[in-house]
C-alpha cells in the first residue's frame, strides 16, 4: 500500500457509509458518517475561489464524502469514525487546469484547515497527527511551491500529449516536444523528492509511535524491511490494532502470493457496459491491470498518460483492464470513465468483499493483494505476472523494452 509513495496521494479513510447535506448555522458541508462510531471529528476551513470541496477516502470504508458547491469557498465536515485514518481534501476550481489535493488526518478534534499564501500547501491544526504533519511540512514550504510547479508542468505535458494523439492528424514534432518536457520535469523533481525523503527520516525518529509516522514510513519506500520491522516492534498495541497497524503486519509478515512470475489469478466479471470480461480470454496478449478509483487524485491525473500508453501499444499486443474501487459509487464511476476518456478499454469494479458461490474471493483488489492506488500489474502472454508498478516511469521503461 502506498499512502505517501510520492508527494501526492489517494486518501486512506477508515469510515463506513455517509450522507451529506447543508447545515443551517455553519457555512459549508456537514457530513455525518454512519456505522461503527468510536469518535467525533470536525474539519473546517476556507479555500477562496474554490467551487467544490470534497473529502475522500478509500479501501477501509469505500466512502466518498462529497460537498455541495460553496460560493465563498468555506467547508465544514462533521462525522463519526471508527479509527484514525488519512483523508484527502480535493479542491475543485474551473479556473484552474487541475484539482488540488491536500492530506488531512481524520481523528478526534476540531481540525482547522488554512491555505497558505500561494495556494500550494495547507496548515491543518487541532489534532495530534495533523499538528505533527503541519510542523513537518512547514519546514518544506518552499520545497512544496517549487515541486508543485514541476507537477503542474508534468500534468500539463501529459494532458497535451493525450490531446495531440486524439487529433485526426498527429503532429509528431508536438508529441516529441511534450514527451521531452515530461521527461525533463520528471528529472527536475528527483532532487526535491530525495531531499523530502531525508527530512521524513528525521521526522520518523522525532515522532515515533504515531499515525503520522506509521502511514508515511510504510509507504514512502525509503526504509529497509529491517528498519520497518524494528519500527513496528516499537508501536503500542493501539497503533498495531489500527487499520494502518494491521497493514504493517500484513505487508511485513504475511507471505505474498502475487509476485513476479506466478500465474495471474483468473476472474470473470461484467464491465461498465454490461459486457463480460474474463482475464483468461486475453491469453496470447500482454494485459495491464489498472487499479484505480474515482476519488484517487493521482489515478485521475495520470489518465491522460495512460491513454497515450494505450494508443501507443494497443496494436502491438497490449490490452488494458481498468479495475475501480467504486462499488459504492457506480454513477460517479461511470461519469469518471466518460470524463477521463478511459472507456477505450474494459472498465470493471473490484467487487469489494464479494465471494463466488464456492466461497472463493472475487474481490479483485484483494485477489491481487493491492493495498493502494494507483497500482498497475502487467501480465504476459502466458498469463504470468511480469511486475507490479506504482510508478509510471518504471512501467514506461518496461513496456519500451517489451515492445521494441
- Rounded CA separation 404/402 (Å): 6
Name the range with the highest mean pLDDT among 84-88, 198-202, 297-301, 355-359.
Answer: 198-202
Whether residue 372 has pLDDT greater than 80:
no
In this predicted structure, which of 70-74, 329-333, 352-356 has the lowest mean pLDDT? 352-356
Bridge partners (DSSP) of residue 40 are: 80
Chain centre distance of CA 343? 20
- Structure confidence at residue 79 as a pLDDT band (50, 70, 90): confident
Bridge partners (DSSP) of residue 26 are: 23
- B/e letters for 133-166, b = 16+ CB within 10 Å, e = fewer, are bbebbeebeebbeebbebbebbbbbbbbbbebbe
In this predicted structure, which of 5-14, 162-171, 334-343, 355-364 has the lowest mean pLDDT? 5-14
- Please state the rounded mean pLDDT for residues 239-268: 86
CATH number of the 268-402 domain = 3.40.30.10
pLDDT given for residue 18 in this prediction:
27
Is pTM beyond 0.75? Reply is no
pLDDT given for residue 387 in this prediction:
93
Residue 24 or residue 279, greater confidence: 279
Cite the residue boundaries of each domain of the chain with CATH code 2.60.40.10: 18-125
Whether residue 235 has pLDDT greater than 90:
yes
- Choose among 41, 45, 54, 149: nearest CA to 105: 41
Q: Strand, helix or coil at 212?
A: helix
How far the first Cα of the chain sits from its last, in Å, is: 31
Say which CATH superfamily domain 18-125 falls into. Immunoglobulins (2.60.40.10)
CA dihedral for 331, 164, 288, 281, sign (positive or negative): positive
Cite the residue boundaries of each domain of the chain with CATH code 3.40.30.10: 268-402
DSSP letter (8 states) at residue 42: E
Are 324 and 292 in contact by the 8 Å Cβ rule? The answer is yes
Instruction: Please spell the DSSP secondary structure of 329-378, one letter per residue.
Output: -HHHHHHHHHHHT-TTS-EEE--TT-B-TTS-B--HHHHTT--SSSEEEE
Q: What is the mean pLDDT of the chain?
A: 78
- Please state the rounded mean pLDDT for residues 198-221: 90
- Please state the rounded mean pLDDT for residues 69-78: 80
Residue 1 or residue 358, greater confidence: 358
- Structure confidence at residue 265 as a pLDDT band (50, 70, 90): very high
Amino acid at each position: 500500500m502506498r499512502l505517501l509513495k510520492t508527494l501526492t496521494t489517494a486518501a486512506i479513510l477508515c469510515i463506513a457509509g455517509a450522507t451529506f447535506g447543508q447545515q443551517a448555522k455553519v457555512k459549508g458541508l456537514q457530513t455525518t458518517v454512519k456505522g461503527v462510531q468510536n469518535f467525533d471529528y470536525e474539519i473546517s476551513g476556507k479555500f477562496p475561489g474554490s467551487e467544490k470541496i470534497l473529502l475522500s477516502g478509500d479501501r477501509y470504508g469505500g466512502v466518498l464524502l462529497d460537498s455541495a458547491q460553496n460560493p465563498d469557498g468555506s467547508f465544514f465536515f462533521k462525522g463519526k469514525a471508527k479509527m484514525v485514518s488519512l483523508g484527502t481534501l480535493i479542491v475543485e476550481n474551473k479556473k484552474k487546469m487541475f484539482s488540488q489535493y491536500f492530506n488531512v488526518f481524520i481523528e478526534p478534534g476540531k481540525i482547522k484547515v488554512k491555505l497558505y499564501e500561494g495556494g500550494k500547501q495547507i496548515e491543518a491544526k487541532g489534532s495530534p497527527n495533523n499538528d505533527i504533519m503541519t510542523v513537518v511540512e512547514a519546514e518544506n514550504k518552499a520545497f512544496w511551491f517549487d515541486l508543485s510547479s514541476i507537477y503542474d508542468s508534468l500534468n500539463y505535458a501529459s494532458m497535451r500529449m493525450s490531446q495531440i494523439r486524439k487529433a485526426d492528424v498527429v503532429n509528431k514534432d508536438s508529441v516529441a516536444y511534450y514527451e521531452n518536457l515530461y521527461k525533463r520535469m520528471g528529472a527536475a523533481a528527483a532532487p526535491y523528492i530525495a531531499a523530502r525523503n531525508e527530512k521524513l527520516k528525521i521526522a520518523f525518529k522525532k515522532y515515533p509511535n504515531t499515525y503520522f509516522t506509521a502511514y508515511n514510513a510504510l509507504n514512502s519506500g525509503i526504509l529497509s524491511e529491517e528498519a520497518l520491522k524494528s519500527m513496528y516492534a516499537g508501536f503500542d498495541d493501539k497503533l498495531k490494532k489500527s487499520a494502518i497497524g494491521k497493514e504493517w503486519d500484513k505487508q511485513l509478515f504475511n507471505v505474498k502470493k502475487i509476485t513476479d512470475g506466478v500465474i495471474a489469478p483468473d476472474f470473470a466479471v461484467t464491465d461498465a457496459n454490461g459486457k463480460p470480461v474474463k482475464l483468461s480470454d486475453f491469453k496470447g496478449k500482454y494485459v495491464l491491470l489498472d487499479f484505480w478509483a474515482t476519488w484517487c487524485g493521482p489515478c485521475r491525473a495520470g489518465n491522460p498518460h495512460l491513454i497515450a500508453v494505450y494508443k501507443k501499444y494497443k496494436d502491438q499486443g497490449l490490452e488494458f483492464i481498468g479495475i475501480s474501487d467504486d462499488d459504492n459509487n457506480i454513477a460517479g464511476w461511470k461519469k469518471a470513465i466518460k470524463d477521463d476518456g478511459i472507456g477505450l478499454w474494459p472498465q470493471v469494479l473490484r467487487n469489494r468483499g464479494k465471494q463466488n458461490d464456492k466461497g472463493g474471493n472475487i474481490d479483485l483488489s484483494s485477489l491481487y493483494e493491492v493495498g493502494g492506488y494507483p497500482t498497475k500489474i502487467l501480465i504476459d502472454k502466458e498469463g504470468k505476472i511480469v511486475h507490479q508498478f506504482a510508478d509510471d516511469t518504471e512501467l514506461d521503461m518496461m513496456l519500451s523494452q517489451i515492445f521494441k
